Amino acid sequence: MSVTSTQDGLKFSEITRTAAQTRVLDAALKLISEHGVSGTSLQMIADEMGVTKAAVYRQFKTKDEIVIAITEREMSKLEDVLEAAEAEGHPLRARAVLLDRMVEQAVNRRDAFRVPMFDPVIIRLQAEYEPFQRFIERLYAALLGTEAGVEARLHAAMLSSAISVAVMHPLLADVDGETLRAQLKQMTSRMLGIPE
């Protein structure tokens, strides 16, 4: 996995994509959320778009670039959420806002939200690619609130993952978004001992 970017130093939300590139990313994300990165070939992406592989390679030089671009786009959405939270000033308020908005994101984008969290290829990428590392550290910091011990880290780990997974869980497949949103917010608050 080659790890270079042409857009270093930018906020993820400042990265611009052409309409053609966006179409590639949409098709790729859909397939990757179903089959994972390794289980998704360029042929599959091209077929999903109704074009040939060569047309896809016009927009992105390598498969890696597509995976990086998808991760950037997903993180960009979380970046907005994170900045809204950090703007709260007080760490505990910030954490509450962050969790609240993460629930919104997860429920609104049930299929795609968990992709960057659980795919082994993207996990590797996040560990190797500096901008992703920096972003995740920021996210963890906000998720930890004011605490620092093992318990706080367990809370943060369980919450961030439970939200991502719950929205896709077979047991909850038939639950509508509104109900899921309300229940998830209640549970996250309860886990942290925040009054409901």
Partner DNA sequence: GTCTATAAGATGATAGAC
Partner DNA sequence: GTCTATCATCTTATAGAC
Name the residues that contact DNA, by CB under 7 A: 18-21, 40-44, 46, 50-55, 57-59, 61-64
> Please, which residues have CB within 8 angstroms of residue 130's CB and are 6 or more apart in sequence?
none
HSE, CB side, 13 Å, CA atoms: give it for residue 138: 18
84 sits in the region (left: phi over 0; alpha: psi -120 to 50; else beta) called: alpha
52 binds, among its own copies, DNA, none (CB under 5 to 8 A by kind): DNA
CA distance from start to end of the chain? 45
- Helices 150-166 and 91-108 cross at an angle (nearest 10°) of 20
175 binds, among DNA, its own copies, none (CB under 5 to 8 A by kind): its own copies
Question: Which is closer to DNA, CB of 62 or CB of 161?
Answer: 62
Shortest Cβ 151–its own copies spacing (Å): 6
10 binds, among its own copies, DNA, none (CB under 5 to 8 A by kind): none
The radius of gyration of the chain from alpha carbons, rounded to an integer in Å, stands at 18
Q: Which span sits near its own copies by CB under 8 A: 5-13, 14-22, 81-89, 154-162? A: 154-162
Report the alpha-carbon angle 26-30-35, nearest 5: 140
Q: Binding to its own copies by residue 44, rule CB under 8 A?
A: no
Question: Which is closer to DNA, CB of 37 or CB of 184?
Answer: 37
Q: Binding to its own copies by residue 140, rule CB under 8 A?
A: yes
54 binds, among its own copies, DNA, none (CB under 5 to 8 A by kind): DNA
CA 162 – CA 152 distance, rounded (Å) = 15
Q: Which span sits near its own copies by CB under 8 A: 52-60, 74-82, 90-98, 178-186? A: 178-186
